[in-house]
Amino acid sequence: MSSIEKNIEDIQEDIKNYSIYPEKVKFIAVTKYVQSDVMDEILNCNVRVFGENKAQVIKEKYEKYNSENKDDIEWHFIGNLQKNKVKYIASFIKLIHSVNKLSLAQEIDKRALQNNRKIDVLLEINIAGEESKEGYDLEDLYGELPELMALNNINIIGLMTMAPFTDDKELVTRVFRRLREIKDELNERYFKGQLTELSMGMTNDYKLALKEGATLIRVGRKIYEK
């Protein structure tokens, strides 16, 4: 068994052991900077959900694997998305995790319409208020929410956040718990239960995220550890 196969098995076992509802959890293999031989090895482990943070890179990988009839792969955009890059991914992207401003949502909506699609998105919230991270603060989110919900070609299905990079597990847990609470508040006030996804947790903290209800974990470095 290769180290990649073993690491993926460990992640999948962690989902079973730490999640409050493991059957709802989707593990996203973060493959930025990963070449095709490693991608193929991950695919051979029956992983079919990949996350990238550069539009041109994810487009190239999509075209490569789609041409090989691997059209069962889900491609997720997980990084900060610039408006002028949306056009490169709008025809195929499964989920955009990082909608953090109305103008970006409007561009996704426009490009989705051009491709006769409705694109699933998550609203990114900067729970900890870190200046170094993207994401809505709550006041801005609530201010833009009516216009976001009026867009016909995006489908808002959940929320995303990044916790502070720290060893303080209580702080990280509070951040993840707060995102779940906001999801519940938004569902009750606006979305009538439409928000089902919580994208939170990476290599350092996905176990904590699973305990707090993550349905999407974005794991990269853990896959490649020797």
Q: What's residue 79's pLDDT?
A: 95
Q: Judge: domain 3-224, CATH 3.20.20.10.
A: yes
What is the pLDDT at residue 45? 96
Q: Which residue is listed with tokens 């959900």? A: 49
At residue 43, φ and ψ (nearest 5 deg) are: -60, -40
State the average pLDDT over residues 162-191: 97
Cα separation, 104 vs 126, whole angstroms: 16
- The domain locations on the chain are 3-224
Q: Model confidence over 67-122: pLDDT tens digits? A: 998 889 999 999 999 999 999 999 999 999 999 999 999 999 999 999 999 999 99
Q: How many CB atoms lie within 10 A of CB 56?
A: 11
Band (pLDDT 50/70/90 cuts) for residue 131 is: confident
Q: For position 144, what pLDDT does the model report?
A: 98
pLDDT bracket for residue 132 (50, 70, 90): confident
Query: Are the beta carbons of 200 and 212 closer than 8 angstroms?
Result: yes
Give me the helices (H) in the chain, please.
3-18, 36-43, 55-67, 86-89, 102-114, 138-149, 169-186, 206-211, 221-224
pTM value > 0.85? yes
